[in-house]
Structure formats: structure tokens, C-alpha cells
Amino acid sequence: MVNENLVKDVVKEPYKYGFVTDIETEKIEKGLNEDIIKLISQKKEEPKFLLDFRLKAFKKWQKMKEPDWAALGYKKIDYQDIIYYSAPKQKEKISSLDEVDPKLLETFDKLGIPLTEQKKLTNVAVDAVFDSVSIATTFREELAEHGVIFCSISEAVKNHADLIEKYLGTVVPASDNYFAALNSAVFSDGSFVYIPKGVTCPMDLSSYFRINSGDSGQFERTLIIAEESSSVSYLEGCTAPMFDTNTLHAAVVELIVLDDASIKYSTVQNWYAGDEEGVGGIFNFVTKRGKCLGKRSKISWSQVETGSAITWKYPSCLLLGEESVGEFYSVALTNNLQQADTGTKMIHIGPKTKSTIVSKGISAGNSKNSYRGLVKMGTKATGSRNYSQCDSMLIGDQASANTFPYIKSQQPNSEIEHEASTCRISEDQLFYLQSRGIEFEEAVSMMVSGFCRDVFNQLPMEFAAEADKLLALKLEGSVG
């Protein structure tokens, strides 16, 4: 039998991103109404079309009901008890990174995000978002040389209003779901990426989201447009301090891919998950969707979900273009009292479209981990294919793993294959590794890592190594 105490004895490293940056912030009052939305819009000096977009979304949101179909249980969110805009106080206009508050730079330094010049060598352009606003975006000039636009969405609203007006809300309409409507009404910042025709983005782009205040929600919006024959790899990371209260994070990500273009979107989500008793932690309700508009276009989602008290997230692909490809690779790990209901939607609309889903769920402690996915073949999706694989691993007898795949086909000339399995860490394998002199905890870690290998292989280099470490860290004290 596996010795429960062995692993529990392993040093429990606390959530290392749980610190709070003591910085003067500008917050608006709590609550949500039309005036608050107007105030946010006014603060961001937005054009009229965006204010209208927000107000329309707010009206729709008021009529909607919070979804309850997910296998999640959490206390009711009081939407009037949230601050919808919070920003660190800064000088009016920042012309270079040197003018950014050193405290902020220090924060991102601590998080390992290379904003300062000497760290730029890593060759990843970063857009750092702190609470409701974007602090800095690196490598902008270098990217501009290639015609790539990478900036915060607030800047894009000012400088590229035409693109925003054309594409915002076309993939995830404001009325799509409760949380998307909320986000559309109050989104404060986020990243905007535009890759022009024929350009392969010379470096990975990355956004880093940091929630700092305990009483404000984060509502960012990301929009990525890949023109014909272009490609980009985009990385996203998130952390938050440890608070006893629950903080709401409701983001929307929209991807648009035209002919022969591709977007690879990777996420390592490490929001604060609450403590062992389930106190505190982020409520993470995210709508991510990509539209493969062009022929032979491709969207690849890869995600490592280890944080958040509640995760509600289904990165999806609408496969419209002929021969377009959608991919979803996910590792979701839950421990203690975390709950995750995550998966994907692959909607095959165009002919000869292909999709692959690989989902690995690991549940430990008293957590609940559900895969929920939809694969749909429309009437015109002739010659389309889908392959899905969902594996769950249970660690300890208190955790639960659920699988809910929804499969719908209206096209005889298409093929759907789905398989799912649930198992525990094999004792034979553990014994084998231990008999070769490998420590118990290391053996468990190796096996979990092996279990997730298919997904880690899809992550960009920087993330893959980190993800491995992150999983090992998160599992400590939970293996029994």
C-alpha cells in the first residue's frame, strides 16, 4: 500500500505568488450600474461605439441568469459588492518603461516576468496587466517593424479603432453567456494582437495578468487577429495574492484566423486557489473562443489549469473554413477544495475540418474535476473528423472526476471518435520505480508528468518546464 504520510511529509511550499504589492491605487466605488459603466468608459476615453457596446451588453446581462448547469458549487456572487475598476496611480502618459512605478516593475520581477531591459533577452514580448490596466508592453518597436501590433486593448481602442470596431464581439457576442455579457459591459483592459498578412510573428507574445486588490474583479478582454498566411504563438499567465475573500475573474478571449493562418494560444493558469480549508481563491469564469474563418486556418489551445477555487472555462473553436483545424490540449489539476468544470467545444461547420481534443484531469484532496466538451458536426461538415481523448487520474478517495462529453452529428460523411478513462496511479508502476531506488514522491511526480506528457509536448518551451514543476508543487501533500 502507498504510504500516505510519506508525501505529506514533503515540504509544503506555500503559494509563492501570494504577496500583495503595496501601491497606491485608484479605485471606483463598488457596484454595477449604467453610471459605473459610463465612468469606466470615460476614464478610458473610449469612442461612442464602445460605450454603446458596453451598455447594450449590460442590458442583456441584467436579463440573464447565472448558469447553474456546471458541476460546481459555490456561494452566490454579489455583483454589487465588486469594484469594477482599479488601477495603480501613475503619471499621465508613460513614454518608456523607466517611468513605470518601480514598485510595479518589482512586482513583475518577483513574478519572473521580464519587463525590464536587461531581462528582455528572453525574446518574449510581454503585455503586463495589473488589476484593471495594462502597465507595459515590451518589444513594441521590434514587432512594429514586422507590422505586428501588440498593445493593450485600451491603446488599440485609441489607435486602431477600426479593427476593434470590426472584430470586437464577433466571436463571443455580448449575449453569448452570463459572464461574457458581464465582461463586455465592464472589461477594463487586456491585450490586442494583429498579425498582418504573410507575417510569422518573430517572437512569442505573452500577457501576464495580475490581480492585486482583493475587492476588485478582473475583467480583461483579449483579441487576436491573424491575417492570411500569418502565424503567432501567444502565451498567457496569471497569478493573484492570497486573500480570504473570493475574487471574481471573468475574461473573454476572441481569436480570428483567416486563410492559411494559425494561432497557438497557451495558458498557464495559476490564480490563487484558496487555502486547504477552501477559504479565499479566485472564481475564474472565462469564455475563450476562436473562429477559423479562413481555409486551412488553425487554432490550437493548450492550457495548464492549476489555480483558482472555481474554474469554468471552455476554450472553443468554430471551424468554418474548409480544412480548418482546431486543437485543444489541457491539463487540469485540482487539489484541496478546488472545483474545475472545464473542457472545449469543437463546432465543425465547414467541410473537411479536423479537431483533436486531449484532456487530462488530475483530482486530489477533496476536489472536483469535470471535463465537459461538445463536438458537433454540422450538416455541411462533410469529410470532417474529430478525435477526443479524456483521461482522469484520481489521487485519494475524496476527490471526484467527472466526464461529460456531448457529441452531436448531423453529417454521415464525418467521423467522431471519443474515448475516456479514469484510473488511479498504478501501484505496480510505483513499486517498480521505487524498487529502482526512486523516491516515492519523485516516482509519483514522474508518473503524473508522464500522464500529462501529451499535453506538455504541445506547450511552448518556457511553459513546459514550468508546468511540470507547477504540477509537482501543487500535488505535494496530497498523494495517498
Partner 1 sequence: MEIIEKIRTNKSRDNLTEIQKICLHKLQSSPLPNLKSELWRLSNKSKLSNFLDYSFNEKDSKFDIPYPKNSQSTIRLIIGENCQIKLIEKNYSIQQLSEDELQKYIKEQISYFDQNENWSDLLNLSLSCKNNILGLNINGSKIPPIEIFSHASSNSLNAKTLVIFLEKNCEVELLQVNLSEENSSLSQSTFFCLKENSSVNHGVVSYGENRSNLLNSLNVIQQNNSAYNLGSLHFKFNYARFEINIKQSAGNAKTNIKGMQITKKDEQISTYTKIEFNGPNGFLDQINKSLADDKSHAIFEGSIIVPKIAQRTNASQLSRNLLLSNFAQIDTKPQLEIIADDVKCKHGATISQLNEEELFYMRTRGITLTEASKLQLSSYFQEIISFIPISKDKWDLLDKLLNEN
467 is a contact residue toward partner 1 (CB under 8 A): no
409 is a contact residue toward partner 1 (CB under 8 A): yes
What number of chain residues touch partner 1 (CB under 8 A)? 35
Candidates 225, 299, 320, 401: give the one binding partner 1 (CB under 8 A). Answer: 401
394 is a contact residue toward partner 1 (CB under 8 A): yes
Span 345-384, contacts to partner 1 by CB under 8 A: 377, 379
465 is a contact residue toward partner 1 (CB under 8 A): no
449 is a contact residue toward partner 1 (CB under 8 A): no
431 is a contact residue toward partner 1 (CB under 8 A): no
**Main-chain dihedrals φ then ψ at residue 432, nearest 5 degrees:** -60, -50
416 is a contact residue toward partner 1 (CB under 8 A): yes
419 is a contact residue toward partner 1 (CB under 8 A): yes
125 is a contact residue toward partner 1 (CB under 8 A): no
Mark the segment that binds partner 1 (CB under 8 A) among 89-97, 250-258, 402-410, 448-456: 402-410
421 is a contact residue toward partner 1 (CB under 8 A): yes
402 is a contact residue toward partner 1 (CB under 8 A): yes
User: Closest distance between partner 1 and the C-beta of residue 411, in Å?
Assistant: 7
Span 15-74, contacts to partner 1 by CB under 8 A: 69
User: Closest distance between partner 1 and the C-beta of residue 259, in Å?
Assistant: 27
Candidates 424, 432, 457, 465: give the one binding partner 1 (CB under 8 A). Answer: 424
User: Closest distance between partner 1 and the C-beta of residue 21, in Å?
Assistant: 40
* Interacting residues with partner 1 (CB under 8 A): 69, 377, 379, 392, 394-424
